Amino acid sequence: MIELKEVRKSFGKQEVLKGISLKVEKGEVVAVVGPSGSGKTTLLRCINFLEKPTSGEVIVGDLAVAAGRAHRKEVLALRRKTSMVFQQYNLFRHKTALENVMEGLTVVRKLPKAEARERSVRLLEKVGLGAKLDAYPSRLSGGQQQRIGIARALAMEPEAILLDEPTSALDPELVGEVLAVIRNIAKEGITMIIVTHEMSFAQEVASRVVFMDQGTIVEEGPPGELFARPKEERTRLFLSRFAPEGSYSI
Ligand SMILES: Nc1ncnc2c1ncn2[C@@H]1O[C@H](COP(=O)(O)OP(=O)(O)O)[C@@H](O)[C@H]1O
Ligand SMILES: [Mg+2]
């Protein structure tokens, strides 16, 4: 479904992805964890060429795009296959909740307005915002704004959804409502890669956890194993900052 082959990315002299290879099967939910600056966001952005990898290959569904010879058309096709949910929501401030979700459908997908509207309403209802269709982001809580971001990502009916720390900008009391929405979509079998610091959530929804540090995948495995019995010292050290050893239950 999604495959990265030896993906490297440098910004100037700094190599931030040092040959990442990763396979995500259809319907799989993969959590990516790791310290700040380890390259998690860059990794997600390389999947849809929001950042063009320096070398390597990205495969999404039936489309393989090599870094060196990526044509614009291929990149656009690749972008249509995934939707991104951003840490800072990235909503249009001057558009309502409904207009935010409709935008990609009418502008990018060229859907008739009525159809775009119908789909958007259904998705906003699904994320619990059926009563806020005409509200502007500034009148909504962070949790509500992020739920619009999720509805917008789902609206495009992508093959996979990439979520970059979707709850890290939220006040603690709003995290739960967003995680609940993500938990529900995960159950529907949508392929997801989610960068998160919510370890217990990762443990609950992810079929696999990938630990990144300094531009490499240090180790990966089922959450029960990786959290309870990390093989690498670096993983152990990272996890110990989130909870005392042994406090993760399966
Ligand atoms: N557009 C950019 N230009 C230059 N350096 C960048 C850019 N984006 C990220 N970096 C650098 O790449 C490294 C990895 O960043 P990032 O992928 O955001 O890590 P994470 O999401 O794990 O915190 C950091 O050192 C960051 O400063
Ligand atoms: Mg990041």
**Does the C-beta of 45 come closer than 6 Å to ligand 1?**
no
Residue whose CA is closest, atom 20 of ligand 1? 37
Residue 66 β-bridge partners: 57
Q: CB of 219 within 8 A of CB of 238?
A: no
Query: Which tokens hold the place of 39?
Result: 């390259």
pLDDT band at 249 (very low <50, low <70, confident <90, very high): very low
User: What spacing in Å lies between the alpha carbon of 46 and ligand 2's midpoint?
Assistant: 13
Residue whose CA is closest, atom 10 of ligand 1? 11
Instruction: Kindly report, residue by residue over 157-169, the tens digit of the pLDDT.
Output: 999 999 999 999 9
Q: CB of 43 within 8 A of CB of 18?
A: no
pLDDT-wise least confident of 148-152, 184-188, 230-234, 239-243: 239-243
Instruction: Kindly report, residue by residue over 183-205, the tens digit of the pLDDT.
Output: 999 999 999 999 999 998 999 99
For the chain, the average pLDDT equals 94
What is the pTM assigned to this prediction? 0.93
DSSP calls for 152-213? HHHHT--SEEEEESTTTTS-HHHHHHHHHHHHHHHHTT-EEEEE-S-HHHHHHH-SEEEEEE
User: What spacing in Å lies between the alpha carbon of 219 and ligand 1's midpoint?
Assistant: 20
Residue 2 β-bridge partners: 24, 60
Whole-number Å distance between alpha carbons of 162 and 180: 17
Query: Which tokens hold the place of 41?
Result: 């966001």
Q: What is the pLDDT of residue 243?
A: 63
Q: CB of 41 within 8 A of CB of 215?
A: no
Chain centroid, CA 50 distance in Å: 13
Phi, psi of 57 (to 5 degrees): -140, 145
Instruction: Kindly report, residue by residue over 206-228, the tens digit of the pLDDT.
Output: 999 999 999 999 999 999 999 99
Q: Inform me whether the pLDDT recorded for 39 exceeds 90.
A: yes
Of the candidates 53, 77, 63, 27, the one whose C-alpha atom is nearest the C-alpha of residue 186 is 27
**Does the C-beta of 38 come closer than 6 Å to ligand 1?**
yes
Percent of the chain clearing pLDDT 90 (strictly above): 92
